[in-house]
Homo-oligomer: A and B are copies of this chain.
Amino acid sequence: MSRIDGRTPEQLRPVTIERAWSKHAEGSVLVSFGDTKVFCTASFTEGVPRWRKGSGEGWVTAEYSMLPRATNTRGDRESVRGKIGGRTHEISRLIGRSLRAVIDYKALGENTIVLDCDVLQADGGTRTAAITGAYVALADAIAWGQAKKHIKHGRTPLTGTVSAVSVGIVDGTPLLDLCYEEDVRADTDMNVVCTGDGRFVEVQGTAEAAPFDREELNALLDLATGGCADLTALQVDALAKTLGE
């Protein structure tokens, strides 16, 4: 079976990770997974929320949002509706948890990093692109905090790297990194977040149509761990470049 865009089942879409996309943020990345484009900024501030003061530990959190016309038909702005939808809440929480999984709060010290992930264009996989890009922005913000001596601990606050990818079963075939057209046709949809050493941070599988069995679950997990390994390599490459070159 050939995919809509000619990929093999275990192939990622073209992925780009552009750093320093904003002149203001301490870390900023424009990440694209094919036509999905997410702008991720990491804002570093000294101090922590009130409930964490005096703990000697830092905090990392995330907010996800879609621009109104990121999708094929325009959606209402959540600011205009006056409330945040369940999907937005859910993804913001997922991104935050995923990044905190590789943070050593003690090493970060009483500093806060907020990741903003704004989807400029959506074509499936916005949450996984957001996590993958936000990690790179986070790494840059931490480097900034170390350079500015706001992070005083000798140990790096990053305990590893983290990336994410979607997988799903379309017409009976497990596929990696679904684009929107594949996503709407998928029977099962799973988002997997892995650390660079191949362990799981999040596994979220949902039967969109028919329930899935253990064998299908295993096939999806195999695909996802492979995809995350590829993304990890791309993150490492992106961070290896000297900014300004």
Contact = CB atoms under 8 A, between A and B. Distances in A.
A3 interface: no
Given A80-B84, A83-B82, A202 B205 contact: yes
A23 B45 contact: no
B97 A206 contact: yes
A120 interface: yes
Contact of A25 (B23, B45, B69, B87): B69
Nearest to A35: B23
A24 B213 CA distance: 36
A199 B221 contact: no
Contacts of A110: none
Contact of A69 (B43, B73, B194, B206): B43
Interface in A77-117: 77-80, 82-90, 92-93, 97, 101, 114, 116
A200 interface: yes
14 contacts: A23-B121, A23-B123, A24-B72, A24-B121, A68-B114, A77-B79, A79-B83, A79-B88, A83-B83, A86-B92, A199-B207, A200-B214, A201-B206, A214-B221
